[in-house]
């Protein structure tokens, strides 16, 4: 190990395994809290109600209005409810949108979070919050929003539809891939990131074949956890920046956009980060990182073109302009011409090329 590095461990407790949801009451007691506000989306009301039953007297109230990208009006309503019922913690059951709502509450009240993830997005392992006001999403880092306890129960992911499982899983792979060539890359997180890719690349095909298999779901959720750790520990680069721009400006769906863009962002960076690429390819069991990622998505029936997500060709120029507007770290310098070519390939769904 010739490069110097800085590594900072983030404090969180992880309880992983099929059936671990049963440990919720004792985990709440371990946190030293007694009045939980349960958070979920309207679509996950039923599982939210199960949590209320499990918590019994430890539950103060439910807020079932979590939605994508945490609109500030929703955050304010949930904060107001937490205050009104005297909640002393949030229990967030769901994907990144629900965890995001718990984080918004924690940002202004320091209410501790117990997160129970049901997708592979990874937000539960990061100190990153996001809030949307007037159509603009603001994000920031604050260790107060990092969940104190995370319960990963693979049984809760059985109901995640195969298409969302695949794209959400590739979203988690993207966290691992960019961690390997991050400006703050360090040997611990690189071990975690490579193992995360391996677990997801092995688990997702099994999930697609047998969505009800707890073994397959455990592999994928384990990989998603490692993806979340990677995202929370080190800075991301071109791929995440592009997806943030495409999602925010053109309202493209989060996990699907990650799935389409990843092979092309990787091809763009391949020459500038050879060691990271070797590790990605090794974890995928593929000859090249970019090809391996493209083939994984295509073989699982995931979308491979921005066109299929509803983007229009005339939006590519604006997307390229936005992607180069504010400078940010990337292993290969970001040029407008290079990004335009990358976006053309992603738009058409071409196999990624090194010149992207």
**Interacting residues toward ligand NAD by CB under 6 A:** 41, 43-44, 68-69, 94-98, 100, 118-119, 121-123, 126, 128, 130, 156-157, 159-160, 168, 231, 254-255
Pull the structure tokens for residue 65.
Answer: 């209005």
Closest CA to 153 of 13, 25, 20, 52: 20
Distance in Å, CB of 307 to ligand NAD, minimum: 22
For ligand NAD, give the closer residue by CB, 119 or 149: 119
Query: How far from 101 is each of 56, 93, 163, CA to CA, in Å?
Result: 22, 11, 24
Q: Residue 1 CB, nearest distance to ligand NAD (Å)?
A: 28
Q: Give least dist CB 281 to ligand NAD, A.
A: 25
* Cβ neighbours of 333 (radius 10 Å): 8
Residue 203's SS3 state is helix
Distance CA 198, CA 292 (A): 12
Cβ of residue 244: shortest distance to ligand NAD, in angstroms? Answer: 8
- Continuous segment of H or E residues that includes residue 274: helix 274-284
Residue 308 three-state SS: helix
In order, the DSSP letters of 130-188 are EEEETTEEEEEE-GGGS-SEEEE-GGGGTTS-HHHHHHHHHHHHHHHHHHHT-TT--HH
The Cα–Cα gap between 298 and 307 comes to 15
CB of 274 to ligand NAD, least distance (A): 28
Determine the residue with CB nearest ligand NAD: 96
Give min distance, CB of 338 to ligand NAD, in A: 25
In the bound complex, what is the minimum distance in angstroms from residue 99's beta carbon to ligand NAD? 7
Give DSSP secondary structure letters for 286-301: SSSHHHHHHHHHHHTT
Nearer to ligand NAD, 166 or 238 (CB): 166
Give, to the nearest 10 degrees, the angle between helix 316-323 and helix 336-348: 140
């Amino acid at each position: 190990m010739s490069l110097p590095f800085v590594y900072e461990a983030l404090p969180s407790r992880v309880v992983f395994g099929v059936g671990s949801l049963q440990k919720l009451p004792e985990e709440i007691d371990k946190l030293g809290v007694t009045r939980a506000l349960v958070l979920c989306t309207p679509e996950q009301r039923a599982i939210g109600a199960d949590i209320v039953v499990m918590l019994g007297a430890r539950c103060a109230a439910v807020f079932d209005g979590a939605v994508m990208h945490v609109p500030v009006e929703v955050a304010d309503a949930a904060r107001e409810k937490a205050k009104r019922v005297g909640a002393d913690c949030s229990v967030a059951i769901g994907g990144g949108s629900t965890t995001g709502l718990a984080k918004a509450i924690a940002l202004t009240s320091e209410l501790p979070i117990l997160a129970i993830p049901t997708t592979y997005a990874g937000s539960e392992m990061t100190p990153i919050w996001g809030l949307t006001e007037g159509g603009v999403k603001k994000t920031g880092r604050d260790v107060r929003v990092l969940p104190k306890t995370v319960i990963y129960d693979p049984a809760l992911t059985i109901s995640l539809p195969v298409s969302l499982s695949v794209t959400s899983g590739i979203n988690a792979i993207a966290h691992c891939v960019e961690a390997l060539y991050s400006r703050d890359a360090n040997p611990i997180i690189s071990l975690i990131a490579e193992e995360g890719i391996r677990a997801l690349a092995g688990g997702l095909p099994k999930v697609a074949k047998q969505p009800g298999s707890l073994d397959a779901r455990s592999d994928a959720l384990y990989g998603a956890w490692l993806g979340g750790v990677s995202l929370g520990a080190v800075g991301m680069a071109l791929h995440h920046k592009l997806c943030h721009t495409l999602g925010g400006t053109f309202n493209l769906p989060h996990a699907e956009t990650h799935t389409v863009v990843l092979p092309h962002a990787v091809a763009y960076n391949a020459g500038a980060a050879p060691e990271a690429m070797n590790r990605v390819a090794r974890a995928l069991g593929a000859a090249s990182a970019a090809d391996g990622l493209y083939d994984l998505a295509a073989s699982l029936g995931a979308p491979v073109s921005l066109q299929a997500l509803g983007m229009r060709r005339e939006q590519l120029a604006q997307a390229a302009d936005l992607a180069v507007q504010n400078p940010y770290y990337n292993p290969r310098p970001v040029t407008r011409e290079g990004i335009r070519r990358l976006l053309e390939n992603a738009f058409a769904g071409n196999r990624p090329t090194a010149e992207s």
